[in-house]
Amino acid sequence: MCSNKTGLTYRDAGVDIDAGNKAVELMKESVKRTYTPGVVGDLGGFGGLYSLAGHSMQDPMLVSGTDGVGTKLRLAIMMDKHDTIGQDCVAMSVNDILVQGATPLFFLDYVAVGKLDPVQVADIVRGVANACEESGCALLGGETAEMAGFYGDGDYDVAGFAVGIVDRPKLITGEHIKSGDVILGLPSSGVHSNGFSLVRKIVFDHKNLSIDEQIPEFGKTLGEELLTPTRLYPKAVLPLIQENYIKGMVHITGGGFYENIPRVLPKGVTAEINVSTWPRLPVFSKLQEWGNVAWPEMYRTFNMGIGMILIVDANHVADVKANLESRGEAVYEIGCIIDGDGPVVLKGAEFDA
């Protein structure tokens, strides 16, 4: 006798293939908008193809970087706003490869969810695509994984992988940085995507603030301020790289000033930075006040308003400033390179007291 019982399906186990297909359809237009001449093929292949034809270089090198968004994702989930978190994902990797002089070529994303909501995933990927388009790189492919029983409903994680290209003779390593060089800073858009475990500890556990609380100093809600996406720096910096102005670059991410700046400094020099030389964003002043955080800890954790540092020869400072300002980019002269054994010295009222 035949059984009338229906066997279990993948959907019964928490994975909805139809929802995944719908998400792909919703994101297709955004993804295709990022395609550059190097992209070969179309969305949906097992691997993304990219042609290096047209890159006339003496010794071309590929530069890769990968990163995620961290616990900033909790803010996006709390606010049910998912269309900007993709920019954070792109920026964290693209800005990293930029500091070595690489022009971004393509990006791949990875989105893991507890229960796949096609609209939510499409919003996330739309943010990724918008950031790729602004950075001049193609969103070459990605993966959406529905992991029932691993992530809770509504929870998700996002990571990304960027690949760029640079001619070896133009690779920026910092090895030629010397005493007398000048340190320039490009402003950040806010907290970016670092230090959010401390941010959440301060605002939710310590101050018991609400995500939708209006903060007069911000001119917006707490959630809106904290969810401000990480700034993308390729448009600002690539023209300077092409002019061979930059001796070293630093993306101020996790570890702040103390941990990131030494990564580009040769032995025998110190980066001396005056923290009074750029405007402090209100979000950092409030976080310090609310958490009574020591200033060295603030500069070890956050970007404090400077998201990208450029180290240039003193003879090129005027040209670099003029180049940036002619394109509407703000830039601050925040310090200099001196002889020394300590990699970073911060000066200013907070450190001189």
Q: What is the CATH number of the domain that holds 317?
A: 3.90.650.10
- Asked if residue 163 and residue 140 are part of one domain, the reply reads yes
Whether 7 is covered by a domain: the verdict is no
Each residue's pLDDT tens digit, 326-349: 999 999 999 999 999 878 999 998
pLDDT of residue 265: 96
What is the average pLDDT across 11-16? Answer: 78
**Does 307 have pLDDT greater than 90?**
yes
Q: What number of other Cβ atoms are within 10 A of residue 128's Cβ?
A: 28
Grade residue 4 by pLDDT with cuts at 50, 70 and 90.
low
195 and 86 in a single domain? The answer is no
Residue where a domain terminates, one of 126, 144, 170? 170
Whether 199 and 324 map to the same domain: the answer is: yes
- Given 138, 170, 202, the domain boundary residue is 170
**In the structure encoding, which two tokens stand for residue 143, read together?**
């993966």
Q: Tell me the Cα Rg of the chain.
A: 22
Whether 62 shows a pLDDT value over 80: the answer reads yes
59: its two tokens: 């010794």
If one compares 327 and 28, the residue with the highest pLDDT of the two is 327
Res. 152: pLDDT tops 70: yes
Q: In this predicted structure, what is the pLDDT of residue 41?
A: 86
Residues 141, 193: one domain? no
- 96 and 210 in a common domain: no
Least confident of 18-32, 56-70, 180-194, 223-237: 18-32
Are residues 162 and 216 located together in one domain of the fold? no
pLDDT 10s digits, 313-322? 999 999 999 9
* CA–CA gap between residue 208 and residue 213 (Å, rounded): 11
Identify whether residues 134 and 190 lie together within a single domain.
Answer: no
Average pLDDT over residues 199-206: 97
Residues 204 and 345 in one domain: yes
- Per-residue pLDDT tens digits for 243-276: 999 999 999 999 999 999 999 999 999 999 999 9
Type and span of the H or E element at 308: strand 306-312
Q: Is residue 5 part of a domain?
A: no
Band (pLDDT 50/70/90 cuts) for residue 350 is: confident
294 pLDDT band, cuts 50/70/90, is: very high
Q: Comparing C-alpha atoms, which of 67, 141, 159 is closest to residue 105?
A: 141
Q: What is the mean pLDDT of the chain?
A: 94
CATH code at position 122 = 3.30.1330.10
The whole domain housing 82 covers 17-47+57-170
Number of domains the chain is built from: 2
209 shares a domain with 153? no
Question: Final residue of a domain: which of 170, 191, 226?
Answer: 170
| 246 & 345 share domain | yes
Record the tokens describing residue 83, joined without a space.
């269309």
Of the pLDDT bands very low, low, confident and very high (cuts 50, 70, 90), residue 16 is: confident
Q: Residues 145, 197: one domain?
A: no
The burial class, CB within 10 Å (0-12 / 13-18 / 19+), for 216 is exposed
Note the pLDDT of residue 54: 83
Do 213 and 347 belong together in one domain?
yes
Quote the longest CA-to-CA distance of the chain: 90
